[in-house]
Amino acid sequence: TAAFALILSLIVLWSLKNRKRETGIYMSLGIEKIKIVLQQLLETTMVSLLAIAMAIIFSGFIARPIQNKMVRDTLSAETSTYTTDDEGNPITRFSSLTPEDALEMFKMNLTANEAVMSVGLTVMVIMVANIAGSVIILREKPRKILLS
């Protein structure tokens, strides 16, 4: 999660850096700095929440079939390349598992609590990165921003 927070922060900071000129224009028009920060925060948060919702919805459609195929392929590979014991009986790591049992063992579900915690963490990281990036830009004068 630390790597996720770092990468997300860098993306948000990069996005704010690309909007530096826009921020300078708003400042030169006399818009209050807090309103500029809130607008950028709202825009970034809304896009992120939409992306999270899409990821949660579509991950089941994409990840589950891939997971099922990987488990089935692993089980078929294990049963096709086996060794025998002293009496000639096949020995595999998963010899007693059926594909359905293995799929149930490796089944991953996202609980509502985990989803809320993930969304909350993401929004917190976005807010901190957005405010930090905005403070850096808003310390400059509009003239300096627009001339750079």
One-letter identity of residue 140: E
Residues 121/1, Cβ–Cβ less than 8 Å: yes
Give the total residue count for the chain: 148
What integer pLDDT is reported at residue 94 of this predicted model? 52
Pair type for strands 90-91 and 83-84: antiparallel
What integer pLDDT is reported at residue 61 of this predicted model? 80
22-31, 37-46, 67-76, 124-133: range with lowest mean pLDDT: 67-76
Separation CA 126–CA 44 (nearest Å) = 7
One-letter identity of residue 91: I
Separation CA 35–CA 137 (nearest Å) = 14
pLDDT tens digits along 11-41: 888 888 888 899 999 999 999 999 999 999 9
38-47, 64-73, 85-94, 109-118: range with lowest mean pLDDT: 85-94
Cα dihedral 127, 131, 132, 135 in deg (nearest 10): 180
Confidence class of residue 76 from pLDDT cuts 50, 70 and 90? low
Query: Is the model's pLDDT at 83 over the cut of 80?
Result: no
Confidence class of residue 42 from pLDDT cuts 50, 70 and 90? very high
Separation CA 139–CA 131 (nearest Å) = 12
Query: Is the model's pLDDT at 87 over the cut of 90?
Result: no
Separation CA 106–CA 64 (nearest Å) = 11
Q: How far is CA 97 from CA 74, 122, 142, in A?
A: 11, 38, 67
What integer pLDDT is reported at residue 38 of this predicted model? 92
